[in-house]
Amino acid sequence: MTAASRFPGPHWWSSPFRLLQTNLRETDATLDASRAVDDLLSLGYDTWLCNAGGIVYFYPVDEPYQRTARTLAERPSGDLVGDVVNAAHERGVRVLSRFDFSRLPADIVAAHPEWAFVDRDGEWYTEDGLTAICPRSDYHEVRVPAILDDFVRRYPVDGVFFNWLQYPELAYSGAYKGVCRCERCRAAFQLEHPGHAHPRGVGDKGYDLWLTVALARLTELAERYSEVVNAVRPGTPLMLADVRMDIAFLETNSALGHGGAWWPHTPSELAGVNRISDPAVPALVHSSVNVGLPYRQVAEEPAQFRRYMAQALSRGALPSSVAVGLADADRFPCLRSGADVLDFLRGHHDLYADFEPASQVALVRPRGGTALSAMQSRDDFSEYRGLYTALQEAHIAFDVIGLQHQEQLAHRDVLSRYRVVVVPGTEGMGALFRRALDEFVRAGGSLLLTGEAFEAGHRDPRRGARRAPEDTP
């Protein structure tokens, strides 16, 4: 339970909302806030996720490690965040503020070398003038809480979003940088797993252990940031991707260049997995108006965009959108095409507020992880995806059970709601969940095992030999 959800007051985020993100460039710091609110409302949204700080700041700051957007001084107020909050709140629009503490301009990091993420080759990584920061650094430990405390004292925002509160193993260029090997990360790993060599990256011995250590660190940070924010503004939700806080942030985009790793059912899958694992945490499924991050000038096809939104909504998640820069519906016509899906959500607000999945069939997604991590790790999900497609094409309603949430699913006895559970593989399945499946069968449930479920410790030819599960089914 986070600091925000411990607050007894009403939680605005528990009721369906419609979020649009404008992911601003430095040149957008001069934007007309009132006009942007008009545009947002006309496109069917009621919540604005807008940049605040981190890499560059859109409000006045003065610490040497903080740099304002190049055009911020051209605003009469010199303060975009203040203008955004005022313009939005005048029209009843909520504001979530976006921070990205994952990177900093390289010259700032040069003055604080101990903040840098050290990649698998022992190097810092810098792309486009930005150097990646380690989540175990004093930047995250000391400076970020001070930045957040100052921010929420100044601005009555409705929530805070953290972009990339992660160990950035994969650079924007697609280059794989591996596990952080800074002194603190090595010490933390040794403390948890004495005698184990520090892994360099995915596929290495000890990588799975590292993921647990890394997630624990990110969770610790997110909890602390939530406490800082809520000490000043009680009931302020946090939203981020990897750590489950008040609002789950799930992303999907069309992708060029990912070949077979792209999966058109990603929004449905993300929405379903999160609704089943954390029914009390609203899940956003976020689609960009352009074709993937590398193609910011190429508009998403309107029908595809609507399909993404409808997929999210059909499984009880909230469709949301992001534009790089302002939400320009003339350049990105999909924005207008999505408006009627949002109208449908608005018109059936109470229905979606009480959404409960009612499928009687569950499909287990082996190994856990997400569609995005599938792209990163190149795991083979073909058998699972084949069964997913078969169920879909047969018009059989089903839920997806994500094994990354297996422990909480087993503890909550989620399987008992189903008549049939389909298991297309057991990789990553722990003893607790296997016992839950046994119990499900004993209680009269039907368990359907296919292909890879019978191949304990099977090899994925693209990744070489893999450690056999400790206890096979």
Cβ neighbours of residue 170 closer than 8 Å, sequence gap 6 or more: 176, 177, 376
Torsion sign over Cα 224, 235, 32, 40: positive
Give whichever of 210 and 418 is closer to Zn ion, judged by the CB atom: 210
Residues that bind Zn ion (CB under 5 A): 134, 136, 180, 182, 185
Closest to 16 in 3D by CA, of 344, 357, 243, 398: 344
Give whichever of 124 and 162 is closer to Zn ion, judged by the CB atom: 124
Minimum gap (Å) between residue 173 Cβ and Zn ion:
20
The CA distance from 279 to 290, in Å, is 30
Minimum gap (Å) between residue 183 Cβ and Zn ion:
8
Minimum gap (Å) between residue 213 Cβ and Zn ion:
11
Give whichever of 136 and 244 is closer to Zn ion, judged by the CB atom: 136
Give whichever of 222 and 401 is closer to Zn ion, judged by the CB atom: 222
Minimum gap (Å) between residue 196 Cβ and Zn ion:
16
Planar angle of CA 441, 445, 449, nearest 5 degrees:
70
Length of the chain in terms of residues written? 473
- Burial track 126-141 (b if 16+ CB lie within 10 A, e otherwise): beeebbbbbbbbebbe
- Burial track 208-247 (b if 16+ CB lie within 10 A, e otherwise): eebbebbeebbeebbbbbbebbbeebebbbbbbbbbbbbb
Minimum gap (Å) between residue 206 Cβ and Zn ion:
15
Compute how many other C-beta atoms are within 10 angstroms of the C-beta atom of residue 462.
Answer: 9
Give whichever of 59 and 117 is closer to Zn ion, judged by the CB atom: 117
The CA distance from 425 to 445, in Å, is 18
Give whichever of 101 and 155 is closer to Zn ion, judged by the CB atom: 101
Both structure tokens of 11: 């939680």
User: What region, left, alpha or beta, does residue 206 occupy, with left being phi > 0 and alpha being psi -120 to 50 degrees?
Assistant: left
Compute how many other C-beta atoms are within 10 angstroms of the C-beta atom of residue 380.
Answer: 21
Minimum gap (Å) between residue 177 Cβ and Zn ion:
12
Give whichever of 113 and 264 is closer to Zn ion, judged by the CB atom: 113
Give whichever of 184 and 458 is closer to Zn ion, judged by the CB atom: 184
Minimum gap (Å) between residue 347 Cβ and Zn ion:
48
Give whichever of 40 and 214 is closer to Zn ion, judged by the CB atom: 214
Both structure tokens of 127: 């792309």
* Contact between residue 3 and residue 227 where contact means Cβ atoms under 8 Å apart: yes
Give whichever of 136 and 177 is closer to Zn ion, judged by the CB atom: 136
CB burial of residue 362 (10 Å; 0-12, 13-18, 19+)? buried
Report which DSSP code applies to 291: S
Give whichever of 182 and 329 is closer to Zn ion, judged by the CB atom: 182
The CA distance from 267 to 264, in Å, is 8
* Contact between residue 47 and residue 96 where contact means Cβ atoms under 8 Å apart: yes
Q: Measure Cα distances from 451 to 85, 265, 407, 418, 421 in Å.
A: 54, 22, 24, 22, 15
Q: Half-sphere exposure of 371 toward its Cβ, with a 13 Å CA cutoff?
A: 25
Minimum gap (Å) between residue 134 Cβ and Zn ion:
3
Give whichever of 81 and 185 is closer to Zn ion, judged by the CB atom: 185
The CA distance from 368 to 430, in Å, is 11
Minimum gap (Å) between residue 237 Cβ and Zn ion:
28
Minimum gap (Å) between residue 117 Cβ and Zn ion:
6
The H-assigned helical ranges of 245-381 are 266-277, 302-314, 334-347, 349-353, 371-377
